[in-house]
Structure 1
């Protein structure tokens, strides 16, 4: 099975965001006016179009995938409306879905313009205060351990990718097993690590440890309803739930639901594993905050440097 090539602190959408923010990709449009249409506009430097679609989505109370709110701020500021971008920051900051580190440091045209504006010094103080308040409410030792274990996981994963993937992933087994065994004890003691308990980054790290625990499909299946409950309560990422759902279904000998899992073919290309109802796939993916399949394949090809079918 091919493991996720994305940096662990980002979901699939954020991985596409990272690529698009670095250099435009050839991607395929999703439904008109959707989040992914806005993402494509941003990749084409159409900042006004991106801001228009995302602002409309916000007003309609639509779903923003992980990292989507930051794109709203970035596009609005890059389009030249710094006041409205500031208003978005003010509105979204209490949700915890805007990364303080990204707001303060990420080198992007819109964010750079925002930080150079006259209203930024006061906003910077508010961002820092909100971050301090957020961190004070978390289980800091647990969050720190989750982040450290996720970093070790990703170091092992990227080493395997650099070594050509395939059999090289066997070298990740000791790290993955140690992380899974540790997380089992955490869940037994404290329940699933939610946003409220360990923050967005800590919850993402916990999901990653489960997602990669293919050696223990019973553990993955046991964690799935916990993550589903958290996602329904707004305490976990729906995209994470979708990816783990696919892992569990495949381990049970069933087709995956969201088309997130690929395998490496004999010719070295990546191939989609068996997937139910291909005609309805993109609609299911969008509902969970996942890219359209064609765009996801482009992301995987860019990340792995190999063809994706």
Structure 2
């Protein structure tokens, strides 16, 4: 049985209306990778707001694009645009955290798609954690009504992927408070709750942390707080039934090399 614990969160980040996503999907579907790459590079260079483009790498239609040899150069060009945008907005912390969250997602999706070393992503997680700790120390945990949906989600992503387990545990009560204030969506609290529980050798509640079974299927990592009422607990925070969640897991991680990342 695989010892590595996995968690899946499929985040939909829509592209701006004036980004040629329909054209990208057409090119991806026809496996015209060079043309798709040129279009992405052009869009990165010319589009006025780089955060509008975050949905390119994590879209389900991207398929094999992230496995193309030149993708690291495309990603580097996008990261440079994000860095320029952050530098042009000194003191805009929500925007900075949003850009940091986009970069860690693009880096993470690339590694997953290619089965690459997680070392660079871990280094990015450590850097982002340190910055988020500074922000929370002065502002508390962000409210989505003040920061906006995407920047607030980026803060959560940085926390969820942080290697600092004690920081995650310290933040959990703050996120629970934001949940009660309707300033945080239920699935994000649930995913962090389970991760904190697992990292402290305690039972998870919502079954978000999963592992591969000997028969090739997937299951929540035991123990569970209340396995008989798992779907009810998940529904209470807006999560899909566990069977549907495990199906999504399989679509991402169970793939021959020739299949798309999100098949």
The alignment's TM-score, normalised by the length of structure 2, stands at 0.61
Cα pair 1:2 1:264 within 8 Å, conserved? no
- Residue 7 (structure 1) aligns with: 11
CA distance in 2, matches of 1:268, 1:253: 24
149, 154, 159: which one aligns with 1:210: 159
How many angstroms does 1:270 deviate by?
4.2
- Residue 200 (structure 1) aligns with: 149
CA distance in 2, matches of 1:286, 1:231: 15
Deviations 1:186-245 (A, max 9, x none): 0001111111221111111111110011x2110000111111101100111111001100
How many angstroms does 1:268 deviate by?
7.0
CA distance in 2, matches of 1:164, 1:8: 22
- Residue 252 (structure 1) aligns with: 200
Q: Secondary structure at the match of 2:127?
A: helix
Cα pair 2:98 2:152 within 8 Å, conserved? no
Q: 1:230 to 1:272 in 2, by over 3 A?
A: same
Q: Give the superposed CA RMSD.
A: 2.8
CA distance in 2, matches of 1:4, 1:260: 8
CA distance in 1, matches of 2:229, 2:255: 26
Aligned runs of 1:258-277 on 2, under 5 Å? Answer: 258-264=206-212, 270-274=218-222, 275-277=224-226
Deviations 1:143-164 (A, max 9, x none): 2112111111111211221123
CA distance in 1, matches of 2:199, 2:111: 22
The alignment's TM-score, normalised by the length of structure 1, stands at 0.52
Deviations 1:123-146 (A, max 9, x none): xxxxxxxxxxxxxxxxx9222112
CA distance in 1, matches of 2:229, 2:219: 19
